[in-house]
Amino acid sequence: MTTMDESGSAQKPRWRGVLHKWAAPFAFGVGTVLDRETARAAILAGAQFVVCPTLNLGTIQICNRYSVTVMPGAYTPTEILTAWEAGADVVKVFPASVGGPDFIKALRGPLHHIWLAAVVGVNVNTTADFFRAGVSVVGVGGE
């Protein structure tokens, strides 16, 4: 996964070469996407999934239009449900470190049908706790 640079550039020529060389064993995506325009640029450059730190309904809409997996960030039950109902494939509980696995477990009660990802605060010591709490995906790295 890569993060868009400050200009919103996915550097299309470089991405195309990487995708052609490594396409079979990997999925290529983009993170820290804040708006639909950046998501579209990444998709046109070959991104196969889009990850966002926030909930932006336009970003979900553009990803759905291009059939690209989208994982927006949300924290409150209202934001999480809104993201899911708008068409998110997985909702990233961000930052998961604030409430930890106990918060995830509490969310799973009323939101058991929503695929959740825990990001930030997940490491080799906490991964199993987050999975036991009910997440489908974890994002490990750069705490």
The 2-3 sheet, strands edge to edge: 2-3, 29-31, 49-51, 69-71
Q: How confident is the model at residue 131 (pLDDT cuts 50, 70, 90)?
A: very high
What's the confidence (pLDDT) of residue 2? 44
Query: What pTM does this model have?
Result: 0.82
Q: What percent of the chain has pLDDT over 90?
A: 76
For 27-69, what is each residue's pLDDT tens digit?
889 999 999 999 999 999 999 999 999 999 999 999 999 999 9
DSSP letter at 141 equals: S
What's the confidence (pLDDT) of residue 67? 96
Q: What percent of the chain has pLDDT over 70?
A: 81
The SS3 call for residue 39 is helix
